[in-house]
Amino acid sequence: MKSDTDEKLIEATLLLVSEKGYLGTSTKEIAQKAGVTEVTLFRHFGSKERLFEEVLNRYSFLPRLRDLLSKIGDSSHDFPDTLQLIGIGFFETLKERKSLVRIMSSEINVYPEKIKVFHTKCIDETIKLLEEYFRARQEKGVLKKFSPDMGSRAFLGMIFAYFNAEVIIKGREITNKEIKLVIKEFVRIFTYGVLKGED
């Protein structure tokens, strides 16, 4: 369990990096924002890189997806309904962290290698988790045969592409009602395809 000091440092890092970027945020600023000394920051995390890794680990979609799928487990929960929950959860996570997503999209190529590797790992683990869910549904005969890896990338990719175009590039504010309608349509397309008579 993280200490109160750890939590303050993680929160401060999220806020500052979302506003100023990873490269534009110093450990001194993070410590001041958290109400601790810079020495305390290094004692708890060792480096800015390690602290930012914890931010990515905490605030990515991975823990939310893991929690959602663990609650569903092996139940006979309707597949489209499950995808709807996953899709809305993914979009809401992106929306909540839009400043961080925007900054990271513009800065990622100049990040330290360790940060790039960890960021890639978070993405890969998220894809892998959804891939495992698809594979489990296939084994139970709920889904037909397709590449679970490609299916996972396709589903999450549709949602991220919409978020990136509408929120990051156009700067639109997407309402919860619109999110639900958009995800519902993505789920319908993903589940039943687009050929007439398939649904």
Q: Are residues 106 and 179 in the same domain?
A: yes
Q: Is the pLDDT of residue 21 over 80?
A: yes
Other CB atoms within 10 A of residue 34 CB:
22
The answer to the question of residue 199 being in a domain is no
58 within 8 A of 10, measured Cβ to Cβ:
yes
> Crossing angle, helix 113-139 and helix 79-96, to 10 degrees?
170
Q: Are residues 83 and 20 in the same domain?
A: no
Q: Are residues 77 and 140 in the same domain?
A: yes
Q: Are residues 93 and 137 in the same domain?
A: yes
Number of domain units in the chain:
2
22-40 pLDDT, tens per residue?
A: 999 999 999 999 999 999 9
Domain with 38 in it: what CATH number? Answer: 1.10.10.60
Q: pTM of this prediction?
A: 0.87
Q: Are residues 98 and 125 in the same domain?
A: yes
Residue 139 structure tokens? 């084994």
51 within 8 A of 45, measured Cβ to Cβ:
yes
Q: Are residues 124 and 171 in the same domain?
A: yes
Q: Are residues 77 and 48 in the same domain?
A: no
Q: Is the pLDDT of residue 67 over 70?
A: yes
Q: Are residues 106 and 170 in the same domain?
A: yes
The answer to the question of residue 198 being in a domain is no
125-184 pLDDT, tens per residue?
A: 999 999 999 999 999 999 999 999 999 999 999 999 999 999 999 999 999 999 999 999
Q: What is the mean pLDDT of the chain?
A: 91
Based on its alpha-carbon atoms, the radius of gyration of the chain, rounded to whole angstroms, reads 19
Domain with 170 in it: what CATH number? Answer: 1.10.357.10
The whole-number pLDDT of residue 81 equals 93
The answer to the question of residue 142 being in a domain is yes
Q: Are residues 45 and 98 in the same domain?
A: no
Q: Which residue in 76, 74, 72 sits closest to 86, CA to CA? A: 72
Q: Is the pLDDT of residue 76 over 60?
A: no
Range(s) of the domain holding residue 31: 4-54
Q: pLDDT class for 73, splitting at 50, 70, 90?
A: low
Q: Are residues 94 and 159 in the same domain?
A: yes
Could you tell me the CA-to-CA distances from 190 to 21, 187, 193 in Å, in that order? 35, 5, 6
The whole-number pLDDT of residue 181 equals 98
Q: Are residues 19 and 82 in the same domain?
A: no
